Amino acid sequence: MSKDEQIKAQIIENASLLFQKWGFHKTTMEDIAKATGKAKSSLYYYYKSKNEIFEDLIESQYMEMLQKINVEVNRCESYSKKLETFLMLSFEEMASRAPLYEIMVNELNEDNKLLKSMIKAISKREVGILEELFNKAIENKEFRYYEKEDLRLIAEQIVRSLRQLQVVIYIEQDKRFNKEKIRIFVDLILNGVKK
Amino acid sequence: MSKDEQIKAQIIENASLLFQKWGFHKTTMEDIAKATGKAKSSLYYYYKSKNEIFEDLIESQYMEMLQKINVEVNRCESYSKKLETFLMLSFEEMASRAPLYEIMVNELNEDNKLLKSMIKAISKREVGILEELFNKAIENKEFRYYEKEDLRLIAEQIVRSLRQLQVVIYIEQDKRFNKEKIRIFVDLILNGVKK
DNA sequence: GTTTCGAACGAAAAACAAAATTAGTCGAAA
DNA sequence: TTTCGACTAATTTTGTTTTTCGTTCGAAAC
C-alpha cells in the first residue's frame, strides 16, 4: 500500500466515523480535515470532492462485502446452496454495515442524484450476480426453467425485497427478526425457484 | 343513500379529480368547494378537515378494492387458487387506482404522519387477510407448515414486496411488465408456500 | 516533484422579516 | 338542517441579508 493510498484510507476511515455520527450533510470538509490532522484544502490533493470521498467509502465497503460473500458462494457445490449462502450472507454482512446503510437511506430522500445512482449501481451488480447464478442453475436443471428476460425481473425483485427487508431489520430495527427468521425468507425464495 | 351521503360522495369525487391533477397540497378547499358548487365553509359541514376528506377518499377506494378482491377469492375452491387470485387482483385493482396511489407515495415523503399511518393501517388489514388465508391453508395441509408468528412475518413481507412491485410497475411505469410477467412473481410466491 | 496550507471565491444554506394564501371557525341567514 | 360571508390563526411563500461551506489557487514547505 503506497503512502498515497494509506492517507486516502485514513481519510475514508475518519470520514466514515464522522458520517455515521453526523450524517453526510452535517459533516464538513473541515471536520474530516481536522480528524485527519490536515488542512481542509489538503484533502483536495487526494479527493476531488466531498462526494468522491463518500463514493469511495461506499464502494470500498461494498466491494469488501461482495468479496466475502463471493468466497463463501464459490465454496458451495450446488446452486441452491450458493443462492442460500448469497442471501444469508447478504444479511450478515449488512448487519455490521447498517449505520452506513442508514445514512444512505435517510439522506437520499430529496433530490440527491449521487446517492440514487450509487444505490442503483450497487443493486445492478447484485442483480447481475443473481442472474448469472440463476442461468447456470437452470442450465444445470437445478432450478425451474425461466426465460432470460424473466430471470432478470426475478433477480431484480429479489434484490429489491432483500433491501427492503434489510431496512426493516437493521434500520427500523424490528426486534422480531433473528438469523432463524431470516432463513424463513431465504427458504421461501429457494422453494420458489428450485425444481 | 341519504342526501347527506350523496353530497359527501360528490365532494370526494371532485376532490379525487383535483388531487390527481394538482396533488394534495396544491389543491385548496376553495378549489374543492368551487368544483362542488358550494362555499368553502360549507364543506366543513360535511368534513371536519381537508385531511378527513383525503382519508375518506382513500378509505372508500381501498374498501372498494378489497370488496372486489374478496368476492373473487371466496369463489375459489383451493387455498392456492385463493392466494393466486388475491395477488393477481391486487395488481389489477391497483392499476386503475395508480394515480391516487402515486399521490400517496409522492406526497408522503417528508413528515406527513397522516399518510404514513393510513398506509400502515391499510397494509395491516392486507396482512391480516393473508395471515388468515395462510392459517387455513396450513390447517388444510395445502401449504407448508409455519409457526403462527412466522406466518405473520411472511405475510408482512409479501405485502411489502407487493407494494414495492406496484410502485415499480404503476408509478415508475417500468414497461417490461404485463399481466403475464406479474404472474411469474405470483407463481414464485405460490411455489414458495405450497406443499 | 510532491505534498501542505492559508487566503479567497462563489454557490448554497440558514436566518430573518414581510406579505400572501389558505385551513378552519363562527354567527347569522336561508 | 344547511349554506355562506366575514373573520382569524396558522402556514406558505417571497424577498433580503448573513453565514457557512465546498472548492480553487498560488505560494510555501518538504
pLDDT digits (tens, 9 = 90+) for A65-76: 999 999 999 999
pLDDT at A195: 81
pLDDT digits (tens, 9 = 90+) for A96-122: 999 998 888 877 655 567 778 888 899
Does pTM surpass 0.95? no
Q: What is d(CA B83, CA B191) in angstroms, rounded to the nearest whole number? A: 11
For chain B, give the number of residues: 195
What average pLDDT score do residues B39-51 get? Answer: 97
Minimum-distance residue to D21 (CA–C1'): A28
pLDDT digits (tens, 9 = 90+) for B114-160: 778 888 899 999 999 999 999 999 999 999 999 999 999 999 999 99
pLDDT at A109: 59
Contact across the interface for B153 and A181, Cβ inside 8 Å: yes
For chain A, give the number of residues: 195
Comparing CA positions, the residue from A184, A124, A67 lying closest to residue A132 is: A124
Comparing CA positions, the residue from B18, B17, B25, B16 lying closest to residue B112 is: B25
Share of chain B above pLDDT 70, in %: 97
Residue B51 Cβ under 7 A from any strand C atom = yes
- Subset of residues 98-117 in chain B with CB less than 7 angstroms from any atom in strand C: none
Nucleotides in chain C with any atom closer than 7 Å to protein CB: 3-7, 21-27
pLDDT at A115: 79
Share of chain A above pLDDT 70, in %: 97
Residue owning grid cell 466491494: A63
For residue B158, what is the nearest residue in chain A, using CA coordinates? A161
pLDDT at A112: 67
Backbone angles phi, psi at B143, to 5 degrees: -110, 160
pLDDT at A110: 53
pLDDT digits (tens, 9 = 90+) for B112-127: 677 788 888 999 999 9
pLDDT at B110: 53
CA dihedral B129, B116, A159, A151 (to 10 degrees): 60
Q: What is d(CA B48, CA B60) in angstroms, rounded to the nearest whole number? A: 17
- Subset of residues 59-88 in chain B with CB less than 7 angstroms from any atom in strand C: none
pLDDT at A81: 97
Q: What is d(CA B168, CA B162) in angstroms, rounded to the nearest whole number? A: 10
